[in-house]
């Protein structure tokens, strides 16, 4: 059955300017880190992408190693792009990254020019694209000179393989050095993708201020702390949760009884706001104008629909913010 997008898809979504660039992003962007790989169900992730676009989400975020297996999320996205979104390519912002291990040997990891150029070429083939809108360096490389990595990003833009470049997982000092190099090269960094949530707030210790001063947008990932900032763990650990998986991103040390108690208290505030905890956690990030967009994931369309409702109320009263800070500071 052919896909016909919602003709009113741009009427409700909020779009925010990305730093001082000309690019605007939807307040919510869809991350394809999980649930779009070769092990996942095609019709399910197809339905998620349809809902996203129907609701005005124009930004789809990938990386070379998303899957599993690595590369399969890009392949699946490319397949759907050709099938359902081909005539809408110019309405989409598609991003990908390189910086983590992708293939064996010394040229399949980190930040060398060899790796970044080769990886993006592979990504473009997997997605059947001529260019991506944003290409990120996924993490700093402690061994490759920063100048080489930034020159590779500049080269990629000049080659027409990406329109914009961004950085991810860079701490404040590293970001400032990298952004200065890119600016001098003539290919400014327009966006930074850090891990940021109510439980992960290192970006508030200087990075957000640095982004603002350099005119760079912020797009947090893991806004729900890998599911911890949802209703899922209020009554124990469900068998199908990430915490229950032996090799998952969460573990018992992460979801301590003290943290679960904070989740329960935060949930009470969310209920008073007529929001789910997940919706409040997303809104809490968007209350800051320096945050351009929030990356959300979804394992089914209903999850994405729930996240979208966060946009109905991103305003917080001072007493609500104080109550949240008191809980997080305990």
- At 265-301, the pLDDT tens digits run 999 999 999 999 999 999 999 999 999 999 999 999 9
Q: Tens digit of pLDDT for each residue in 127-156?
A: 999 999 999 999 999 999 999 999 999 999
Whole-angstrom Cα distance, residue 137 to residue 159?
A: 17
Q: Tens digit of pLDDT for each residue in 145-187?
A: 999 999 999 999 999 999 999 999 999 999 999 999 999 999 9
CA angle 224, 226, 229 (to 5 degrees): 40
Output the pLDDT for position 129: 98
CA dihedral 177, 182, 184, 185 (to 10 degrees): 140
Whole-angstrom Cα distance, residue 147 to residue 137?
A: 13
The pLDDT mean for the chain works out to 95
Output the pLDDT for position 237: 67
Whole-model pTM: value is 0.95
By DSSP bridging, strand 24-26 and strand 15-17 are antiparallel
Whole-angstrom Cα distance, residue 170 to residue 176?
A: 9
Q: Averaged over 304-329, what is the pLDDT? A: 98
The CATH superfamily holding the domain 15-232+279-315 is NADP-dependent oxidoreductase domain (3.20.20.100)
Per-residue pLDDT band for 190 (boundaries 50, 70, 90) equals: very high
Per-residue pLDDT at 243 exceeds 80: no
Task: Delimit the domains of the chain by residue range.
Answer: 15-232+279-315
Per-residue pLDDT band for 234 (boundaries 50, 70, 90) equals: confident
- Written as one string, the DSSP assignment of 34-68 is SSSSTTS-HHHHHHHHHHHHHTT--EEE--TT-TT
């Amino acid at each position: 059955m052919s896909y016909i997008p919602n003709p009113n898809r741009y009427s409700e979504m909020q779009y925010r300017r990305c730093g001082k660039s000309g690019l605007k992003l939807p307040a919510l962007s869809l991350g394809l880190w999980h649930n779009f790989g070769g092990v996942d169900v095609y019709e399910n992730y197809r339905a998620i992408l349809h809902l996203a676009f129907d609701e005005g989400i124009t930004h789809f975020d990938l990386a070379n190693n998303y899957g599993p297996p690595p590369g399969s999320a890009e392949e699946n996205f490319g397949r759907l792009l050709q099938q359902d979104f081909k005539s809408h390519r110019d309405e989409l912002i598609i991003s990908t990254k390189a910086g983590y291990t992708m293939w064996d040997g010394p040229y399949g990891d980190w930040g060398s020019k060899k790796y970044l150029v080769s990886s993006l070429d592979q990504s473009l083939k997997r997605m059947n694209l001529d260019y991506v809108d944003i290409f990120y360096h996924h993490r700093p490389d402690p061994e490759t000179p920063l100048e080489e990595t930034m020159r590779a990003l500049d080269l990629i833009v000049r080659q027409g393989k990406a329109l914009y470049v961004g950085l991810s997982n860079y701490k404040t000092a590293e970001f400032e050095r990298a952004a200065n190099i890119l600016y001098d090269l003539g290919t400014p960094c327009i966006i930074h993708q850090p891990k940021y949530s109510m439980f992960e707030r290192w970006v508030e210790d200087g990075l957000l201020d640095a982004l603002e001063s350099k005119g760079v947008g912020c797009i947090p990932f893991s806004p729900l702390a890998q599911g911890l900032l949802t209703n899922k763990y209020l009554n124990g650990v469900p068998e199908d949760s990430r915490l229950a998986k032996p090799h998952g991103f969460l573990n018992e040390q992460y979801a301590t009884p003290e943290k679960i108690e904070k989740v329960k208290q935060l949930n009470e505030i969310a209920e008073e706001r007529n929001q789910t905890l997940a919706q409040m956690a997303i809104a809490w990030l968007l209350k800051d104008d320096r945050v351009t967009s929030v990356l959300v994931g979804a394992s089914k369309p209903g999850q994405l629909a729930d996240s979208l409702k966060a946009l109905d109320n991103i305003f917080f009263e001072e007493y609500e913010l104080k109550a949240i800070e008191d809980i997080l500071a305990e």
